[in-house]
Structure 1
Amino acid sequence: MSLSVIEPANLQKPNLLVGENYGLTLTQSIQNLVAENCKETPNFTHFIDIFYELMQSKVDPPLESIWVYSALTFRSRNLTNDDPLDRLLAARDLFQLISACSGSCNSSKSIALLAPVVFEVYKVAVELKGRHLGSKREKKVFREVKYLVDVILGFISVCCCDTSNGKRNVSEVTDLNLIVSFKDLVSLWMEKSESFKSFLPLVNDEICREGSERVCDVNYLAGMVTVEVFLLKLCLSFGVGMAGVELEKELTSWAVSSITGFQNVFFFETLVRMLLEPTMPVTSLLSSEHGVLLKKVLYDAVILVEYSFLNPDSAVDLPVELMKSLAMTRLIVTHEAIELLREDGDQKKAISYASAFSSSKLPSQIIKWITNQIGMDEQERSLVSSPKALLKWLLSLENQGIRAFDDKILKSHAKLAVDNSKTDCEYQSSKVKGNEASGDLLFYIDNKGEEEEDEEMNESMSAAFVVAAHSIKFPENGGRKRKEMGSTGNKKKIKHLKHDLSDNHGSTREGFSSVSNEDLSSESEVEDPISDEDAEAVEQ
């Protein structure tokens, strides 16, 4: 039985759901529902009508009203069949229901509401991975899981685009705090024996804990959901088709293209924070060997590329504290990645990371924030630029009573990272020329604005995915033919010094992004990567 929006027979009077009455009714109804859910045999029948009215009473309804209505409707289906295909079909119907109910909502809310869909799809994917895809039916279901994940990614990509003016909508920054506990909302989707953490299986414990203990911002929740779908797509790409270096390059290409398409700071911040942990929360989907490869892919996508949406000038509407915290997290992640590579003996890639860092805008951004805060002389900004040297400088300021890290957890990570690094962590990097550092690892992205064809593409994609969200059907033959690693969002030309990373992403724009060429000395000096002009000369 497909899920659909069903209008109840008896509606309350409209004036009961306006102004303060609306907020009071919504809050009280959720409290009553949570209390009912704690009973051994809860009865949710009359709640469906209540939350339908709450959802229909506003053009842009609160997340809670759609969340609860879809949960109650989904649970009323009483799905007892453990067949993976039936459960996947139920997840698909849930996606259609939520996308239909959130059609008038902003992008962050529309994405955040997909958390239950991702939860259901993930459970099917884990079960299939455990069966090793022995039968034809299981292989068919696995193809359909990948297809549904692609559709969800496409929906998210469209949500991240502001097609009304052809410009990227980095995120909504209005007050989008939930009015009730996120933990209470999650309980509506969980069995009593399941933990809160299991609802967000592809984000780490620290991020889950923050979501359960504090007032949850819809923007952050949307970022977590996007990370989960992003990782799910990557995990499902292992063990089928390509392997080794070829798979690593293909996944890196897709990851960079997707990050560029999303252009969402909350998504990127969540992803980078997860890289602070020793392992990614993907053990139920990947072997330890594949998990290591996944982290390498993410390191490349996060460190080697200069994304224009991370420039503070492009995120003027976002809190400075958020951008500063993200910059500090990127700094620590870059340092840890370089140390891991050197421990593994991969000096060439380590130098590539160091070179990408020193030539990016990240060190100058961090130094500018700090020196403006403490009134340091302009000339002193050029004292540090390697990740380790910059971290040492920041920690020395902390020891002097100057607050460089706003987050205690980040400060602890920074101290641990520096303490654990080798005393000769720079090795002989100053003696190695930057252009000897694996040229095929250094690539840049052009994000300098939108052309007319990009606007047309956004509009056509929007229309296509709106239709898809309402009318998606599974192919009878188990999935239509398509490219395994389709791009998301605006399709952009990603330039690679030895090959084009976006061969599979259609027609796109040409060009390189600019990078910072500030002459900053450090403990580890490497030459800047190849310049835009040099790259153009190579192409010619």
Structure 2
Amino acid sequence: MASTLLVSPKPRNFTHLIGKNYEIALNQSLQALLNSVGNPNFPYLISSFYDLLQSKTDPPLETIWVYSALSFRNANSAKNEPLDQLSSIKDLFQLIISCSASCNSIKCIALISPLIYPLHSFIVGLKGFELGSKKERKVNKEIKGLVDSILGYINVCCEGLDGSCDDLNGVIPLGNLVSVWIGHNIAENGNVLESLRMFFPLLSNEILEKVSIEGCETSELAGFVIAEAFLLKLCLKMRGEGIENELQNEIRTWVVGSITSFRSSYFYVTLVRMLLEPMLPVTSLMNSANEVLLRKILYDALILVEYSFLASVSLARLSAKHTKNIILGKLMVTHEAIEYFRECSDHNKATSYSNAFASSSLPSELLKWIKNETGSEVTNTGPNGSSPKAFLRWMLNIENRGIRIFDDDMSKSRAKLISDNLKEDLEKLANKGEGKTLDTDLFFIDNKGENNGNEEDDKTGESMSAAFMAAAHSMQSAEHGGTKRRAKKSEKRKRVKFLKYSLAENSESYTFPRKDRGNSGSDVENPSSDEELEVKEQ
């Protein structure tokens, strides 16, 4: 089937494509395609890129990407039947595999990125076909089989990875490559982000915003591909209503096993960054209730399990920037998860995450990393506590002394941390200062002390300051109007202690296989098990 996409011209001499001539010919062919991307001359361009493909043992990613795109678009243009369209997507998969047979594992994974785009579009558009129940079952079975084949191929490619994934190809020109699939020149239209959203339907907006500005390397792209295929599989498993506990446990086990098998730190970071967004990018394929359930499953898999490919020895082989993204990303997502379950009144789950954080290697990795970044004279005090929130407050205090910790791409998370901290401080003042008036002018964000500020940061600071002042005003009015009610309720308040949470004793906890659990080497003690919280009687 895949052979229908391949072009097999007569043997040709490729001596004119040696050395720098190859790069010149590739750029010229790519530009010719971009100039006519909406209505390309398929026979001519396919022949040109076929020559480029055959003249190198290990062709550049761009060559394979464009050749497979042209072949697929040419073969699929007249197909309307669902099974025919799905057959073309399968042919595309086989074509990419055959063209990348001599490439390294990371490039092989990155090259199947174009496969998710038509497959997702096909699944979403399937509702528009009037299929009988028998044919619908057959199509759905074919879809699940293809997704399983994609994940199986990724798993085979990942078997030889040592976790280092150093990039030798530099930044990929994704804008031009996406244009080949979208069908219009996004460089001319200027709407790069919107085109990326179309091409990467299962990536979060924050990730795509970063890619639209900075581009990405091959290892990052491979991580995106694994994440999209991974989420696509989960969406197909969780499309129904009312997922039973048995299926939830099965999904948890599969998620942990997949993360362990793929051994990709870039895939791991991609999932972490998605969880820092308000909603996972899966709403096109599942309802909101299942999105919430999937979020909880991913929290468990990323926080409660320690993976050997993220151990200290493995992190030492990664770039400093990527290591930072892993460490800070897991810290922030653990904090977010704890706060999420506290808001849901699931204190057992929140405590389990706190205990998992304190007993993991992450606190010691954070202490070591921050000490290396800032110097021992800055970090000799350490965080005031062992929770993720204590670490984040400590890091924000270090930043307030003029030492940069959070990068620009973490600005949203940093702003949210500042907002949450000040909101908590305001609430404490409101609870402790009954009968006292708050000075709302005390609450503002001082951005003037930062020498390298920009206009966007100024706007963020202004909006946050306004929000804090509004919150203070609202607490004032609530205080003046609700003193009597608080006086009555305060008589009913009592203090309770939450006992230390045991994963083994919790009926909702799950045991995951861990290869290299051992001693985490954490220098931070377990969080206090008798943290006192005020709870109002019903």
One fold, TM greater than 0.5? yes
Structure 2: gaps of 5 or more residues: 187-193, 429-493, 531-538
Is residue 518 of structure 1 aligned with residue 516 of structure 2? no
Question: What is the rounded CA distance, in whole Å, between the counterparts of 1:78 and 1:130 in structure 2?
Answer: 18
1:225-374 alignment runs, 5 A limit: 225-239=225-239, 243-374=243-374
Cα distance between partner residues in 1 of 2:32 and 2:352: 57
CA distance in 1, matches of 2:162, 2:412: 33
Counterpart code for 1:387 = P
SS in 2 for 1:227: helix
Which residue of the other structure, out of 135, 138, 161, is the alignment partner of 1:137?
A: 135
Aligned to 1:432: 499
Q: CA deviation at 1:21?
A: 1.2
Q: Which has the larger radius of gyration?
A: 2
Partner of 1:385: 386
User: CA 1:72 to 1:357, structure 2 compared with 1: closer, same or farther past 3 Å?
Assistant: same
1:390-425 residue CA offsets vs partner (Å, 9 max, x unmatched): 0000000000112222x1232431341353367499
Task: Report the TM-score when normalising by structure 1.
Answer: 0.77
Q: Which amino acid aligns with 1:189?
A: W
Given that residues 355 and 526 in structure 1 are in contact (C-alpha distance below 8 angstroms), is that contact kept between their aligned partners in structure 2? no
Alignment of 1:53-68 (within 5 A): 53-68=51-66
The residue type paired with residue 166 of structure 2 is V
Conserved 8 A contact 1:153-1:230:
yes
Contact preservation (8 Å) 2:253, 2:512: no
Q: 2:169 pairs with 168, 176, 184, which one?
A: 176
The size of the alignment, in residue pairs, is 452
Deviation at 1:106, TM superposition (A): 0.7
Shift of 1:285: 0.4
Do the aligned partners of residues 334 and 428 (structure 1) sit closer, same or farther apart at CA in structure 2, a change above 3 Å counting? farther
SS at the partner of 1:58? Answer: coil
Higher helix share goes to which structure? 2
| Superposition deviation, residue 311 in structure 1 | 1.9
1:219 pairs with 2:227: no
Residues 177, 215 of structure 1: 8 Å contact kept:
no
Equivalent residue of 1:441, what SS? coil
- Per-residue CA deviation, residues 192-248 of structure 1 (Å, 9 max, x unaligned), is 498331110000122223333334311111111110000000010014598232222
State the alpha-carbon separation in 2 of the partners of residues 238 and 442 from structure 1: 19
CA change 1:324–1:443 in 2 (3 A) is farther
Higher relative contact order (CA 8 A, sep 6+): 1
How has the CA–CA distance of structure 1 residues 317 and 17 changed in structure 2, closer, same or farther, with 3 Å as cutoff?
A: farther
After superposition, the Cα gap between the structure-2 partners of 1:88 and 1:52, relative to the gap in structure 1 and judged at 3 Å, is same
Distance of 2:225 and 2:181 partners within structure 1: 15
Conserved 8 A contact 1:429-1:525: no
Q: Partner residue of 2:403? A: 402
- The correspondence for 2:106, drawn from 99, 104, 108, is 108
Shift in alpha-carbon separation, 1:365–1:315, aligned structure 2, 3 A: closer
Residues 191 and 26 (structure 1), Cα distance of their counterparts in 2 relative to 1, 3 Å cut: closer
Letter matched to residue 200 of structure 2: L
Offset of 1:125 from its aligned partner? 1.8
Distance in 1 separating the partners of 2:232 and 2:519: 31
Q: 1:273: how far off?
A: 0.5
Cα drift, residue 293 of structure 1: 0.7
Q: Structure 2 vs 1, CA of residues 404 and 430 (structure 1 numbering), >3 Å: closer, same or farther?
A: farther
1:430, CA displacement in angstroms?
7.4
Structure 1 range deviating more: 20-29 or 272-281:
20-29
Find the partner of 2:75 among 58, 77, 80: 77
Instruction: Find the counterpart in structure 2 of residue 491 from structure 1.
Output: none
Q: After TM superposition, give the deviation of residue 337 of structure 1 in Å.
A: 0.8
Question: Residue 208 of structure 1 aligns with which residue?
Answer: 208
Question: What does residue 160 of structure 1 align with?
Answer: 158
- In 2, Cα distance between equivalents of 1:37 and 1:64: 15
For 2:129 and 2:502, locate their aligned partners in 1 and report how far apart those are by CA, in whole Å. 46
1:44/1:130 Cα in 2 relative to 1: closer, same or farther (>3 Å)? Answer: closer
- 1:5-16 matched pairs, under 5 angstroms: 5-9=6-10, 11=12, 13-16=13-16
After superposition, the Cα gap between the structure-2 partners of 1:248 and 1:133, relative to the gap in structure 1 and judged at 3 Å, is: farther
- In the alignment, which of 99, 119, 122 is matched to residue 121 of structure 1? 119
The 1:66/1:155 distance shift into structure 2, 3 A limit, reads same
More moved, 417-426 vs 189-198:
417-426
Deviations along 1:125-180, whole A, 9 cap, x unmatched?
A: 22336779862111210111011100100000010111xxxxx432531312256x
Using the alignment, how far apart are the partners of 1:294 and 1:429 within structure 2? 32
Amino acid aligned to 2:499: V
**Residue 151 (structure 2) pairs with residue 187 (structure 1):** no
Residue 446 of structure 2: aligned partner:
none
Residue 514 of structure 2 is matched in structure 1 by 446
For residues 249 and 83 of structure 2, the distance between their equivalents in structure 1, rounded to whole angstroms, comes to: 32
Q: Deviations over 1:307-342 (max 9, x none)?
A: 111123113332011111221111111111111101
Report if the CA contact (8 A) 2:167-2:218 is conserved: no
Counterpart secondary structure, 2:386:
coil
The letter for the 2-side match of 1:402 is I
Q: Partner letter of residue 286 of structure 1?
A: M
Residue 393 of structure 2 aligns to a residue whose secondary structure is helix
User: TM-score normalized by structure 2?
Assistant: 0.78
Q: Where in structure 2 are the equivalents of 1:465-476 lying within 5 Å? A: none
Q: Secondary structure at the match of 2:75?
A: coil
Amino acid at match of 1:518: S
Q: 1:169 to 1:284 in 2, by over 3 A?
A: same
Per-residue deviation at 1:355? 0.8
Name 1:98's counterpart in structure 2.
96
Give the Cα–Cα distance (whole angstroms) in 2 for the partners of residues 93 and 57 of structure 1: 23
